[in-house]
Amino acid sequence: MENGTHNGMRTNHDRSPWMNGANGTLVKGNMSPDKGKALADNAAMANGGDDSYMDMDSHNGRLEATPNASRMNDLPDEIQHITTEILPLGLLLTRLAQFTHGRLQEEIAVLASKPVPYLTTNGNAGYNFTGTEDTSPESLDKKTSLLNFIQDIHQRWVKALVISEWSKKAGQVGRLIDIRAHLVGQLEWFEHTFRCLLDVKEATKWAKLPSPDLRTALEVLTTREVSWMPDFGYVDLSPISVEERASWVEEINTLLSVRLSYYEHDKIPIAFREYAINSGRVTFRVEGEFEVDLTIGDEDFDKQFWFIDFRYLFRPAVTELTSQVRAYLERKVNDALAADGLAGCYKYLHEFVLTQKIGEFRRQAVRLSKERWIDTLKVERLNRAMAIQYWLNKPHSRLFKSWIILGVHSGVGPDGIQDPKSPSRLHLRWFRDNVEVKDFDIPFNTQTIFTESLLTTVIARHVEYLLGSICQKLLTKPRFSQREARLDLQLSRNEPLDSSLTVQLFDEEDAKLGLDPITGAFTMFPKSSVIMDGERKFNLSHTPAEDGPLILEKLRCAYTIKDLHNRAHSIGWTFSQSPISSDDIKTIVFSDDTPSREKNYQTVWMRKDGWNPQWFIIMCMSLGGDHWWLVELSGQRPGLPNGRLKMFTKMPMTSAQLSLSDSFFQNLALYVTGMVSHITDLRELHSKRMTHATRELANSSFSQVKLPTIFVRLSEMLNPNNPDGQPAPEASTVPWAREFIPITFRGIKGHSEDQATLAMLPDIGSPNGAKRVPRTRIIAEARLAVTNKAKFRLLKANVDHDVIFNPHLGQFALRLRGEMGTPVVHLLAARIRALERLVELVEAISKAGKNAVPESATLREVVFSYNSPPPPGLSSHSPENRTWRARLDLTQSKGVALTLENGNPQLRILDVLIKIAGSSKFHQLPSWLIMTLPLYRGLGKIEDEWEKFALRNEGQFQVFNRTIDWLVIRFTLPTTPSSPPRPPRTLLLDVKAKLRKTKMLWHIERPAITGVASGAKVPNDEFDRVLQQGVWTATSIEGVKTFGTGAAADPETGIESLLLLISNAVRSLLGAQLPPPHPVSQGMQGPQQGPQQAGHEPQPQVHGMPQQPQQQLHQPPGPPANSRFHMQQQHQQHHPMPQMTPVPHPTQLQRQQHHQQQAMMAQQQQQQQQHHHQQQQQINGGQGQGHRGVMGNTKNAPLVVLD
């Protein structure tokens, strides 16, 4: 058997002890006293002190024995007795017996814990041997376990028996072992001595000098010559000049450039693409690794490069190589250049530098393990790679280890092919808690090697994993996922001390959890008894990433309950036992049907001193989060345990809002009062079946708590009569405001009634009514957010005494005041309707342009002024172009009242404007006022001019308003008396507003003739002649464009000029004679013969009367009986208008037909008298109701528009 110290290997003597007997001695029956003494001495030596064992950690491998061992077993002194790690046989047998006894007890316990067969499970069945073996699974399992136990123990005792038999010859075998060990040691010394002699001989061969030649030496010293040395006649070389040296260097540079640019271009490795040629050498630079200088020794490009110099490009590294390293490196690099060229040179130097970097990392790691990181790091070299284990003695997770391995990755891809663009590189593997982390990104600087920085980065990622795991598990809890508590995770990927997890405990108190980067122990701040207990639990946990959330939750609950009770009792809050049954408590706690609710919970009942005993606050604390409820009890004595639960609602409060200050409990009392007010509003909304929602939003009035905010739909507030609570139609939505309106409780305000009034108010709960109850008023606020803030830039901040507009936020703040216990939703609906009218008005005024200027805008009244550009020839300051003011009264329950100033030419269409103001086209009112102002101003001027002609019965001018964008003007000229009588000459013109190229224009033209076939031309009568000559073909009129049969005028600059031009053209016909009738063609008589053949009388028609309005003439809308229009209509019936019949087209150029015209006029006059009454009904019934009156009426007579 070999010596135990050979090659540092352990001996196997502990497996084969040869001592026997008591205390390691060999005991025989017949023992002489001398032998017994010798054996006793032997035993004492074998079981002696520390000197009886071999030192296994000695560096020289020599044996250390006791001085008395030299004469052991009658052996020479040179032979040493081996006693290291030899155990007594008695100790072995004792330990084996103890092991057997312990295993037997464990086996009995295991067999007892296993289930018994089914027939004996009741314990009453007796044992009846039937001769059949029990083959139940339970019995077979027990038998197998017992058999395995017996076989294991039997093998151990058999080995002990073999050792006991072998120990009978232990003395002889021991001496043999000692002799063999002595021989092996002598052989090793012989080999070592031989090796030393060879080393000395090898080292001294360079020191050998030849025998001195004294004769030659004496001759050289005396004559400085050697006579026997022949003279070869060599000619000394001339010294090299600087120019030649520079020329040679330049030539070498040229050769290197040509060779690398052309010959070696495809052979240069990618890493050697960056090079510089200078001083006859080429310098290849690999960033972060090395820099090598090469040159050539021949002009032949097939010859190899030669090594000149090498420098490291990473830090820390030696700045200059030693001569031995340089020589070694030069030989290896030249060999690589000769074998594989530049690629081989790069590969060798690259691998050489990677090895040097790993060595530098290991050197720094060893230094750290002996200095700052002592007893926390373990550095191990793994061939070329290295391993660093950190957190050796961490208090937690003792079953798991963490380390990193820094080695070289070959760069070979999965297909086994080396990618030239991805050479070998330093590679880091991370094992965290005995498991390798596959996907991680830990950058480490290979240019500036700093092992402590790499280690700190890895530990920072480990800390990030631990704290991040705890944080992620906490975020799954409702307390943190619903933001009921603060949870702040600060992570640093470079410095583990900067990583921490901060958890809110109570109020402003936080617990900060971190780790010591060197020892790996958890640390918590601030230091207190409760927090120190939590820190201890973290360091005792085997899996802190899994147990961390539970430890922090227990810490938070203990801290919260302790501080809450201590503070609340001192400021007048009462904590009581539950006044209701446990089943009712479960109904409240489990009413929030969420997956996160916990079965184990703790409730705290509290209320303010002096509260109504029917109201309580419940706080429930559990792992699912802290929940608060407002509870209302019923019954005469709700404080009793048998009190009945009437109502409960969850309070949107969390532990994050708790504060130990007096203001918190004051705000809590005020908050509960607000909740009661909100319950009243919610009951009102539910009774009206209106859609509503409640959310928890921050309330600026109460910074400590969050009051519940009620959200209602704007469309339902404006349409309260919507049945079945269905959503309002899309048309009822308000485009300028958002759909949902929040109603927030802002506080309580005392009522300002006098004491006398308060004294008359009895207490509701007092039977005799002697107790006074002061009234309180609640203040609620509704915020209406607008969609476009730019539309409301004309509004002032104070829209009304309870309405404020914030232009920066784009919100209307509506302050609602009402008595406590009464809903405020009906007040909100009224305010919104008034605000909607105001907003639409302001928006319409702003869209009207610069011609409309708002003067004041409130919820009660809107006043704005408007005008139009002056007509041609007048200045903007002319009295005729004055600015008119319009006043809109918004206090009317139905619609909007419009008031215009006296003298406004648009008073004739006031009813039309009021109708527009109350219709869905309300936003068009300011634009129509501006657009129609020049039109009616021009019509007023024409009426003034024709009034003198009407007084002399020379002609009349009338206006018929159909709609706001369509009116008809009629010129009527009398005819000379004739037989038969002829109807007066009438000209009808349609004035319509039409859109042309994104601009509204007034189009004036003659309407189509009733009964004329489609496509027929307007007859060329006298009106058409003057219109064609003076109007339809006129040019160079500002704002007017003519097109042969009509004209279009700009509403601002051209309409007045065009109307005046038409009036002047018609005035030219005053006093002219009527031409004779033109024969009616067959095509024009065709449509009129139908009614005559059917027995109907022919209906007279007016020139240019449109056909479409005839459908509305039969049923004109009747005005109110007491209106001004009704009086005007009666006046028109007493003064009928002249009958108008169609006039054929005259030919005034033919003088020879003049006598025929006189005859036709007489005939037409007779026909006029026959159909006078029928024609009056037809015209006045359809159009006469809409014009402003017959000649002689005032300008401001109201008109009715027929659509």
Q: Can you give the length of the chain in residues?
A: 1203
Reduced 3-state DSSP string for 467-509: HHHHHHHHHCCHHHHCCCCCEEEECCCCCHHHCEEEEEEECCE
Q: What are phi and psi of 821, to 5 degrees?
A: 95, -5
Q: What tens digit of pLDDT does each residue of 1011-1064 get?
A: 544 444 555 678 888 888 889 988 888 888 988 889 999 988 888 989 999 999
**Measured CA distances, 828 to 675, 684, 743, 815, 833 (Å):** 19, 13, 9, 9, 9
Q: Which regions of 890-965 does DSSP assign to beta strands (E)?
A: 897-900, 956-963
Cα–Cα dist 55/1122, whole Å? 133
SS3 170: helix
> Which H or E run contains 646?
strand 644-651
Is 316 in contact with 360 (CB distance < 8 Å)? yes
Is 685 in contact with 826 (CB distance < 8 Å)? no
Cα–Cα dist 131/116, whole Å? 19
SS3 876: coil
Residue 798: per-residue pLDDT: 78
SS3 1034: coil
Residue 1071: per-residue pLDDT: 65
Candidates 526, 486, 532, 530; CA nearest to 506 is 486
Provide the 10 A C-beta neighbour count for residue 1167. Answer: 18
Cα–Cα dist 345/14, whole Å? 55
Is 174 in contact with 73 (CB distance < 8 Å)? yes
Is 368 in contact with 329 (CB distance < 8 Å)? no
Strand 776-785 relative to strand 811-819, pairing: antiparallel
- The single-letter DSSP state of residue 1131 is H
Residue 758: per-residue pLDDT: 37
Which residue bears the tokens 């583990």? Answer: 496
Candidates 1058, 1000, 1003; CA nearest to 872 is 1058
- DSSP H helices in 1095-1198: 1124-1134, 1154-1170, 1172-1179
Instruction: Provide the β-strand partners of residue 292.
Output: 284, 310
Instruction: Provide the β-strand partners of residue 778.
Output: 748, 818
Token representation of residue 139: 């019995």
Cα–Cα dist 1113/1177, whole Å? 9
Q: Is-cis flag, bond preceding 230, omega within 30?
A: no
Is 80 in contact with 177 (CB distance < 8 Å)? no
Candidates 765, 769, 822, 775; CA nearest to 612 is 765
Cα–Cα dist 1066/1027, whole Å? 8
Tell me, rounded to whole angstroms, the distance of Cα 898 from its chain centroid. Answer: 51
Cα–Cα dist 905/868, whole Å? 13
- The single-letter DSSP state of residue 1138 is P
Instruction: Provide the β-strand partners of residue 784.
Output: 812
Share in percent of the chain as helix, strand, coil (round to 5): 40, 20, 40
Cα–Cα dist 85/608, whole Å? 80
Q: Is 168 exposed, middle or buried (0-12, 13-18, 19+ CB in 10 A)?
A: exposed
Residue 1010: per-residue pLDDT: 58
Between vectors from CA 371 to CA 367 and to CA 372, what angle results, nearest 5°? 115
Under-70 pLDDT residues of the chain: 1-74, 117-132, 593-597, 600, 610, 612, 635-643, 654-658, 660, 699-706, 720-734, 750-776, 820-821, 871-880, 893, 976-980, 1009-1020, 1071-1203
Provide the 10 A C-beta neighbour count for residue 200. Answer: 10
Q: Is-cis flag, bond preceding 316, omega within 30?
A: yes
User: Which residues have a Cβ under 8 Å from the Cβ of 974 and sit 6 or more positions away?
Assistant: 953, 954, 955, 984, 985, 1138
SS3 806: strand
Instruction: Provide the β-strand partners of residue 862.
Output: 857, 888
Cα–Cα dist 933/926, whole Å? 11
Q: Residues 398, 400, 404, 408: is their CA dihedral positive or negative?
A: positive
Token representation of residue 1071: 């006093």
Cα–Cα dist 368/449, whole Å? 14
Strand order through the sheet with 509-515: 487-490, 500-506, 509-515, 522-525
> What does 181-233 look like in DSSP terms, one character per residue?
HHHHHHHHHHHHHHHHHHHHHHHHSTT--PPP-HHHHHHHHHHSS-TTS----
> Which H or E run contains 275?
strand 275-278
Amino acid at 850: K
Cα–Cα dist 558/539, whole Å? 19
The tally of CA atoms less than 13 A away on the side-chain side of residue 473 is 16
SS3 819: strand
Instruction: Provide the β-strand partners of residue 620.
Output: 603, 627
Token representation of residue 485: 């508590």
Provide the 10 A C-beta neighbour count for residue 5. Answer: 22
Is 1160 in contact with 1090 (CB distance < 8 Å)? no
SS3 296: strand
Instruction: Provide the β-strand partners of residue 863.
Output: 856, 887
User: Which residues have a Cβ under 8 Å from the Cβ of 96 and sit 6 or more positions away?
Assistant: 156, 157, 160
Between vectors from CA 912 to CA 909 and to CA 918, what angle results, nearest 5°? 145
User: Which residues have a Cβ under 8 Å from the Cβ of 1065 and sit 6 or more positions away?
Assistant: 1026, 1027, 1029, 1030, 1031
Q: Is the pTM of this model over 0.75?
A: no
